[in-house]
Structure 1
Amino acid sequence: MAIDTEQDQQGEIARLRAELDAKNAELEALRSRFEAENTDLVHRLDQFRAIFENAASGIAIQNVEGVITAANQTFLGMVGYGRQELLGLPAAAVIHPESAHRTLADAVRQGEAAPLRDERKLVRKDGSSLWVDLTTSVLTEADGTPRGFVCVLHDITARKRTEAATRESEQRLRQLVERLPVLIHAHDAQGNYVFWNRECERVLGYGAAEIIGNPGARALLFPDPDYRRHIEKLHSDASDFAGWEAETAAADGSVKTILWTRISGDSPLPGWAAWETGMDITERKAAENALRASEHEKKLILDTISECVLYQTTDKRILWANRAARALAGGEPKDLRGRRCYAVWHGYKKSCTASPCPVDQALRLGTPVEAEVEGEGGRTWLVKGYPSFAPDGSLAGAIEVATDITGRKRSEEAMRRARDLAENATKMKDEFLANMSHELRSPLNGVLGMLDVLLDTDLDAEQRDCIQTALQAGEGLLAIINDILDFSKLQADKIVLSRRPFRLRHTVRTVCNTFREQSLRKGLDVGYDVDAAVPDTVIGDEGRVRQILFNLVGNAVKFTHQGSVRVRAQILRKGADPRQARLLFTVTDTGIGIPAEQLDTIFDPFVQLNWAKNRKYEGTGLGLGIVKRLVTLMGGIITVESEMGGGTTVHFWVNVELPG
């Protein structure tokens, strides 16, 4: 029994020892596996540390309070901090104020735990900034409780600079396109307007807000449905076009002609599938239409005139001819165009040599030239050549205008012969009048002389009255003969003015005294006034001055029944020469006056006042005509002022010289 018990005990001990050995072996195996796993874990941790430190991306770890607890070398290089400087700082210390908005920590506190990706602007230790692409994830405990955050950062500063440069470039391009003096608009892929520059607004009157994004924009610009469908079909076509004219409705109701060019494919700005540049050619089209209309009108005008008009090149080839020229040449425009003018008109094989050609001379001299040219059939042509210049100033050709002046030349020849005959007749008349005047004056002077002698004899009253009447009639006849002789000399320009010194005051006094007896009989006051500035002696034709005054004072006395007749003389300096002067005379009366309608003709030859054509005022009508011609001959002017019943004033001046 005891033996069994001992055996049982030994067996239990053996079993226990065996179990203990098994446990030790199992424990050894666990220890070996733990050591292996620990070694692997250390290795992996070393690998993680190496990856963490050497990662191309910046990595930072912060606790739930937002304090940085770890950071790799890349992140330290990004922010410019040393490790010991950075660890323990709040994450906000490296975040730029512009990016200090909602973080993952804020989201976690609000019950959200999804990773957060964002672009943030950081601030370096030195104050400079950089942009990063930030991905933030939550680190949790085994039970899911957040214990921190891991932040992975990629430096995108270069990309942001590129984007900023791109945006700036796009902005500059947009501003440039916006301000170009060219119409520019763009469409998206659906054909909607996405751009409408200022020139479009200025020319068409629609603001960008009215066009961009407006599905009915095309209806505004192209109200005609058929025309609009044509436009839409053109825009739906993928091909580009250039130089397409579109009639476009403006906001003010007018229609503008726009010359469009479409460009698709490479777009200068985002969102542009195709864009078009345009030029407002409304005024140019109107000018072209006006020019065509003007050219048509000019052609009509040139075709209706009787002159032959041709346009030629510098080598005398005809480019254009009007209807008269075509009719003369006997051909249509196509028959003349390109032919040389001398071959058309004269059948020559080379340029005209018989006489100088005005067109040749105009081309050579570059100025208009005209000449008379003898043509076939005894006809005479007035040919005018006008050089034509190109816009750059070079000689382009010449315009030839030919007028048939055969009839005019014959008329001129007939008129020349008639003029010669008239001049000969006038010469004969003047010679006859001069001869007859001399022939009449000689016996008449004898008769007057004998009557003067007879008055000195012993006569009774009746005889003396008869002789005085005969003497007055003879003196009147002599005055008429003298007027006729003077007028004929003036007509023939045979009067020569003398230049002798004379005493003007004496001359004026003599004229006034001549009419003293007649004025006393009528109760008139005839007087004169010579200005003190007038020299005692002047140089000129005293006889003609006396003749002018005699006629004017005589008329004044004749037509004045009461009141006075006054003669006034003044001197006027003519210019810088102190020896040249003008004598201004004024003859004033208080007579019956001259009708206003006859003032313009009072100095014409053989003209008398209508109411004066009676025996009381009869005369030849030559006196004032002679006066005007003498005044003009002496370089002066004569004028008259008169009022019916209020008298007459005559002003005239003549040129004289002053003694040195």
Structure 2
Amino acid sequence: MLKVSEYFDNYFARGKINKFTLAVFVYLLIVLLYIIDYVTEGKLIFTLFYVIIAIFVTRYLNIANAIVISVLASISTAYIDITILNEDLFSPYYYFNLLTRLIVYFIVIYLTHTVQKRESSLEEKIKIRTLDLEEEIRQRKFKESLLIESEEKYRNLLTNQPIALLRMNISTNKVDFANQEFLRQSGYDATEYDNLKDEDYINMIYPDDRERLFNFYKEWATSGFRENSNISYRIINRYGKILWLNTYLYVDRDKNGNPSFINQLCIDVSDQKLNEENLFKSKERYESFIKNSNEGIYRIEFDDPIDISLPKEEIIKQFFFTGYIAECNNIFAKTYGFKLADEIVGIQVSRLMGDSLNDENYKTLNNFIENNYIASNEITEEYDKNWRKIYISNNSAGVIKDGKLLRVWGIQQNITELRESQDKIRILSWAVEQSPDAIVIMDTQFNIQYSNPKFSEISGYSNSEVINKKPFIMLLNESPKELREEIVNTLNSDNIWTGEYLNRTKDGENYWEFAIIAPIKNEKNQTTNYVYIKRNISERKRFEEELIESRLKAEDANKIKSEFIANMSHEIRTPMNGILGMIQLLEMTSLDEEQKDLIETVKYSSDLLLRIINDILDFSKLEFGNVKLSYEPFYLREFGKNLYGMFEIAAKNKNLAFEVIYNSDFNYQIKGDTYRLNQILINLIGNSIKFTNEGFIKLYILEKNKTAKKVSIEFIVVDTGIGIPSEKFEILFDSFTQLENTYTKKYTGTGLGLAIVKKLTDLMKGNISIKSEVGKGSEFCVKIDFEISQ
């Protein structure tokens, strides 16, 4: 049965018969068998055969075909039964017969289909598993072949890899694998490398890197061989060549996680290190050049590269307003008043050029563009951080790429001092050329190297006539020998000679000349030239002679006048004394009130006239030097007491406070002329009382700088009077001078009091000073040195 089944299975698999043809064949077979069965009356055998046919149909046809065939067969056989038995087609027997057959067929079909389904599922699983196993075996064999091929390729790849690879067994401390690149780096072949000893490995490491490398391996091992460790070091290969290696290390671990192999990937970076070293040296030289340069070095960048195809005006604007300092050295920064380069980096070009695109700046940038973005010794006016104008000499070049100006490199010098010096020299040259004095420059042999126009005007000689000639003053046959020697000796002593002498013009006319000859020295203090400045003083000489003659005549006249005044004063004073005596006698007689008033007026006027006569007489004596000082010892406190008594009543009459103040007990005597000292202080105190209407007058007698033999005394008179304007201080001590203002016009006097005070103070070798403020008062200070009486 199994063979029949397999036969049909194969028969269907080969496609020899289709299922529809089989169904028709089965249907006809069932009808035929039923007829045979009916004729032979072998119904049980027929029923069994039905079952076999139903199982066959269900196995090889689908269940739908089996049901259809079963229904048709049932209807057909039932119909045959009815026909043979002559039963009615729709009788109960027909339906019973039909239903019985259908039930039997359906049960057989269901059971057969269930069994077939289970058998099919099991067979399918077996087939699928068989196929899976076959595919797994095939894939495993394929992978094994690929693995073998991959291992060969991997080993070839590692062997020929440009990166050096080394695999070392940790347990045996032996090299498990080393590729060709590693052997190339070390200089050994595989056999030689396997036979190397520990000291050979140590010697292969560059001496300066050994300790660092050993410490690295020690730390790496201590850390449990952490992943992604790397180090750079040098080796010395077999041929003595030094190589820089960047080594990356990692470990392979066994199934227990313990390190088993150390893998090293060594990259030869010698060329890279060499390039880095050269780059570092280049950068170092570049930075050293910029840092140590005596000139300012700078780099200008722009907010955006400038398209050089734009109109020139637009390029200039973009350069001026978008350019900024991107890099510079300290010299450049100091040019603009900054200490360090970092302080100026980022500053706009426009700020350095004065924030104004004026004609000068426009011309500078235009020249730069016109000269193919190159500037050679271009002088520009710029401004430092304090807006002080500076002058810069620029040498710069633009970097252009793809039609755009990317940046500008430049070297500059601050020539502000040079420019200012040139300006000074230019001004000095103009001054020399236009000087009202003749100016001559001579060499050290006194030969003329230069003369200005005024020299030609005074001497009558042109510039060409005197060059490399000696001036008249130094000519042997023209000037006195003593004069030449005096000049030479003075100049050889590095001093300046000045003098006056009689010179002669080209036409032979004599004229007086005032001359200055001074040495000119270089930076080493060596005399290189002499400057000879002279002026024609003939007119001044004539005026001086006339002035001397006039002064002598005036002195003679003044002497006669003074003698006359002195004699007249003396002659007038004698009868005045008689008049005063008679007035005193009249006062002693019996007089009515009117007569007393008249006598008092006459007495006041006589006293005033006598004081004027005395002032004139004293001043005349001082003018002629006829006053002699008489030095006698005296006590200052007693001297001050007498002064107080002299002015106490006069001060009270004007309701003024008057006092004398000391800063010492003055228990020692000094030597001086008390009469003349009195005269000084009487004039000062008298003026204070005269010009003070309210307040006080104070006399300070102060001890200053006392030694064993000498003492300096200050006599200070302070009042609260009308005061003196500061602009009048200079004429205050002149003879016959009174200040003309609304305050002093009502006060009488000769104007000789302060002049006498000044002359007496000078005679005593003292000095007088004044402080005053209009409306507040005055302070006169007389300072005189006295000898202490032993």
| TM-score normalized with structure 2 length | 0.50
User: Relative to 1, partners in 2 of residues 1:335 and 1:174: Cα closer, same or farther, differing over 3 Å?
Assistant: farther
1:179 to 2:287 alignment: yes
Select 1:158's aligned residue among 231, 234, 241: 241
Pick from 300, 314, 319 the counterpart of residue 444 of structure 2: 314
Partner of 1:283: 414
Task: Point out which structure has higher relative CO (alpha carbons under 8 A, 6+ apart).
Answer: 1
Question: Aligned with 1:495: secondary structure?
Answer: coil
After TM superposition, the structure 1 = structure 2 runs for residues 396-411 of structure 1, keeping only pairs within 5 Å, are 396-411=528-543
Q: 1:385 aligns to what? A: 517
Aligned to 1:570: 701
Which residue of structure 2 aligns with residue 368 of structure 1? 496
> 3-state DSSP class of the match of 2:297?
helix
Match of 2:204 among 129, 135, 145: 129
Q: Secondary structure at the match of 1:374?
A: strand
**1:572 offset after TM fit, Å?**
2.0
Aligned partner of 2:73 in structure 1 is none
1:368 Cα deviation after fit: 2.0
Taking the aligned partners of 1:487 and 1:637, their CA distance within structure 2 comes to 18
Q: In the alignment, what sits opposite 2:579?
A: 447
Per the TM alignment, residue 484 of structure 1 is displaced from its structure 2 partner at its CA by 0.8
Deviation at 1:483, TM superposition (A): 0.8
> Is the aligned partner of 1:257 residue 2:394?
yes
Determine the structure 2 residue equivalent to 1:203: 297
Q: Which residue is 1:356 aligned to? A: 483
- Whichever of the two has the greater Rg, that structure is 2
**Aligned-pair Cα RMSD in Å:** 5.4
Q: Summarize the Cα distance change of 1:625–1:176 in structure 2 as closer, same or farther, 3 Å threshold.
A: same
* Structure 1 letter corresponding to 2:536: D
SS at structure 2 position matched to 1:91? strand
How far apart are residue 392 of structure 1 and its match?
3.4
* Cα distance change, pair 331–430 in 1 and its aligned pair in 2 (3 A): closer
Instruction: Please tell me the residue identity of whatever aligns with 1:177.
Output: R
Contact 1:250/1:256, CA 8 A, preserved across alignment: no
Structure-2 separation of matches of 1:251 and 1:529: 67
1:414-453 mapped onto 2 (5 Å cutoff): 414-453=546-585
Alignment of 1:211-360 (within 5 A): 224=368, 226-228=370-372, 245=376, 257-258=394-395, 280=411, 282-283=413-414, 291-328=421-458, 333-337=463-467, 339-342=468-471, 345=472, 354-357=481-484, 360=488
> Would the aligned equivalents of 2:705 and 2:711 in 1 still touch at CA under 8 Å?
yes
**Of residues 602, 612, 618 in structure 1, which corresponds to 2:748?**
618
- Structure 2 vs 1, CA of residues 631 and 609 (structure 1 numbering), >3 Å: closer, same or farther? farther
Of the three residues 621, 625, 637, the one matched with 2:768 is 637
d(CA) in 1 for partners of 2:381, 2:543: 64
Using the TM superposition, give the Cα deviation of residue 607 of structure 1 relative to its aligned residue in structure 2, in angstroms: 0.3
C-alpha deviations, 1:627-657, integer Å up to 9, x for none?
A: 344345441424354664x776655454444
TM-score by length of 1: 0.58
Cα distance between partner residues in 1 of 2:703 and 2:282? 80
> Identity, % of aligned pairs?
23
Deviation at 1:323? 1.9
Structure 2, gaps ≥5 residues long: 1-151, 157-165, 167-171, 187-192, 207-236, 245-269, 320-364, 384-390, 398-408
Measured in 2, the distance between the counterparts of 1:249 and 1:511 equals 78
Given residue 378 of structure 1, which amino acid in structure 2 is its aligned partner? N
Identify which of 580, 583, 586 aligns with 2:711.
580
Question: Which of the residues 167, 178, 197 maps onto 1:92?
Answer: 178
Pairwise CA distance, 1:400: 1.5
Counterpart for residue 607 of structure 1: 738
Distance 2:540 2:413 in 1: 50
Distance 2:657 2:288 in 1: 92
Larger mean CA deviation between 197-206 and 470-479 belongs to: 197-206
Tell me the alpha carbon deviations over residues 543-578 of structure 1, each in whole angstroms, 9 at most, x when there is no partner: 1232233334444444566x6755444322235556
From 591, 606, 613, give the equivalent of 1:474. Answer: 606
In 1, are the aligned partners of 2:513 and 2:536 still within 8 Å (CA)?
A: yes
What is the CA–CA distance in structure 2 between the aligned matches of 1:392 and 1:624, rounded to whole Å? 57
- Given that 1:448 and 1:471 are in contact with CA atoms closer than 8 Å, whether structure 2 keeps it comes out as yes
> Are 1:628 and 1:638, in contact at CA under 8 Å, matched by a contact in 2?
no
The 3-state SS of whatever aligns with 1:203 is: strand
Q: State the Cα distance separating 1:439 from its structure 2 match.
A: 2.0
Q: Confirm or deny: 8 A CA contact 1:381 1:402 kept in the other structure.
A: yes
For the structure 1 residues 203 and 227, does the alpha-carbon distance in structure 2 shift closer, same or farther, using more than 3 Å as the test? Answer: same
- Matched-pair contact (CA < 8 Å) for 2:521–2:527: yes
Higher fraction of helix: 2
- Whether the 8 Å contact between 1:320 and 1:333 is mirrored in structure 2 is yes
- Post-superposition CA distance 1:217-271 (Å, at most 9, x none): xx99998565229x7xxxxxxxxxxxx956599999x9853499xxxxxxxxxxx
Matched-pair contact (CA < 8 Å) for 2:637–2:665? no
> 1: CA distance between counterparts of 2:280 and 2:704?
78
- For residue 304 of structure 1, report the CA deviation from its aligned partner: 0.7
Q: Which runs of 5+ in 1 are unaligned?
A: 1-62, 68-78, 80-84, 101-120, 132-153, 183-196, 232-243, 261-277
In 2, distance between residues paired with 1:477 and 1:251? Answer: 78
> Secondary structure at the residue paired with 2:557?
helix
Secondary structure of 1:205's partner?
strand
Which residue is equivalent to 2:675? 543
Query: 1:449 offset after TM fit, Å?
Result: 3.0
Q: CA deviation at 1:301?
A: 1.8
The 1:160/1:334 distance shift into structure 2, 3 A limit, reads farther
Change (3 A) 1:223 1:259: closer
